[in-house]
Amino acid sequence: MLEVLAYFLLAIQFIIFLYFIVVNSIYTYFSLTAIKELLINLKISTQQKLKILLSSQAMYRPISILVPAYNEELTILSTVKSLLNLYYPEYEIIVINDGSTDETLDLLISEFNLIPAPPAVRLSLPHKPIKNLYLSLDYPNIIVIDKENGGKADALNAGINVSQYPIFCCIDADSILDPEALLRASRLFFEDKKVIAVGGIVFPLNGAVVEGGTIKEFKAPKKLIELFQSIEYTRGFLAGRTGWSILKSLLIISGAFGVFRKDMVISIGGYRKTVGEDMDLVVRLHKYCLENKIPYKIAFIPDPICYTQVPTDWTSLLKQRNRWHRGLIDSLLYSKDMFLNPKYNSVGIIGFPYFVFVEALGPIVEFTGYVSFIIFYILDLISKEYAFLFFCLAFVWGMWINIASVFLDNYLYRRYSSLADIIKLLFVGILEFFGYRQLIVTERIIATFQFWRKEWGKPLREKIQHEFSI
> Does residue 142 carry a pLDDT above 70?
yes
β-bridge partners, 134? 116, 144
- The phi-psi region of residue 362 (left if phi > 0; otherwise alpha if psi is between -120 and 50; otherwise beta) is alpha
> Does residue 244 carry a pLDDT above 50?
yes
The angle subtended at Cα 153 by Cα 149 and Cα 158, nearest 5°, is: 70
More reliable by pLDDT, 405 or 355: 355
Contacts of 42 (CB under 8 A, 6+ apart): 303, 412
Q: What is the mean pLDDT of residues 398-417?
A: 81
Say how far apart CA 48 and CA 170 lie, in whole Å: 27
pLDDT at 96: 97
Q: What is the mean pLDDT of residues 228-232?
A: 93
For residues 348 and 339, the answer to whether their CB atoms sit within 8 Å is: yes
> Does residue 468 carry a pLDDT above 60?
no
Full 3-state SS string of 238-299: HHHHHHHHHCCCCCCCCCCEEEEEHHHHHHCCCCCCCCCHHHHHHHHHHHHHHHCCCCCEEE
More reliable by pLDDT, 70 or 380: 70
User: Which of the listed ranges 179-193, 342-356, 446-460 does the model predict with the highest average pLDDT?
Assistant: 342-356
pLDDT at 407: 82
pLDDT at 466: 45
User: What is the residue extent of each domain of the chain?
Assistant: 26-356
Q: Sheet containing 91-98: give its strands across.
A: 114-117, 130-136, 142-147, 91-98, 63-69, 167-171, 257-261, 195-204, 297-308, 175-177
Report the run of H or E that residue 370 belongs to, with start and end: helix 362-378
Q: Give the Å distances, CA to CA, from 228 to 225, 403, 415.
A: 5, 13, 17
Tell me the residue ranges of DSSP E strands in 355-423.
none
Say how far apart CA 278 and CA 270 lie, in whole Å: 11
Q: By C-alpha distance, which of 207, 303, 262, 196 is closest to 64?
A: 262
pLDDT tens by residue, 166-222: 999 999 998 889 888 888 888 888 888 999 999 988 888 888 877 766 777 788 898
Assign 10 a pLDDT band (cuts: 50, 70, 90). confident
Q: By C-alpha distance, which of 195, 354, 160 is closest to 270?
A: 160
Out of 43-52, 352-361, 413-422, 423-432, least confident range: 43-52
> What is the three-class DSSP state of 150?
coil
> Does residue 458 carry a pLDDT above 90?
no
> Does residue 460 carry a pLDDT above 90?
no
Say how far apart CA 339 and CA 354 lie, in whole Å: 10
Percent share of the chain, pLDDT over 90? 50
> Does residue 364 carry a pLDDT above 50?
yes
Out of 102-116, 141-155, 186-200, 346-360, least confident range: 186-200
Say how far apart CA 189 and CA 168 lie, in whole Å: 12
> Does residue 121 carry a pLDDT above 80?
no
CATH, domain range 26-356: 3.90.550.10
pLDDT at 470: 39
Assign 100 a pLDDT band (cuts: 50, 70, 90). very high
> Does residue 149 carry a pLDDT above 80?
yes
pLDDT at 212: 64
pLDDT at 70: 94
| Residues present in the chain in total | 470
Say how far apart CA 359 and CA 252 lie, in whole Å: 12
pLDDT at 232: 92
Annotate 426-468 with DSSP letters as a single string: HHHHHHTTTTHHHHHHHHHHHHHTTTT-----PPP------B-
Count of alpha carbons within 13 angstroms of residue 328, beta-carbon side: 26
Assign 459 a pLDDT band (cuts: 50, 70, 90). low
Assign 453 a pLDDT band (cuts: 50, 70, 90). confident
Assign 118 a pLDDT band (cuts: 50, 70, 90). confident
Mean pLDDT score of the chain: 86
Q: What is the mean pLDDT of residues 97-118?
A: 94
Q: By C-alpha distance, which of 279, 388, 381 is closest to 335?
A: 279
Annotate 96-126 with DSSP letters as a single string: EEES-SSSHHHHHHHHTTEEEE------SS-
More reliable by pLDDT, 37 or 159: 159
Assign 255 a pLDDT band (cuts: 50, 70, 90). confident
DSSP state of 86: -
- The phi-psi region of residue 87 (left if phi > 0; otherwise alpha if psi is between -120 and 50; otherwise beta) is beta
> Does residue 13 carry a pLDDT above 80?
no
For residues 205 and 309, the answer to whether their CB atoms sit within 8 Å is: yes
> Does residue 47 carry a pLDDT above 70?
no
pLDDT at 351: 94
Say how far apart CA 274 and CA 257 lie, in whole Å: 18
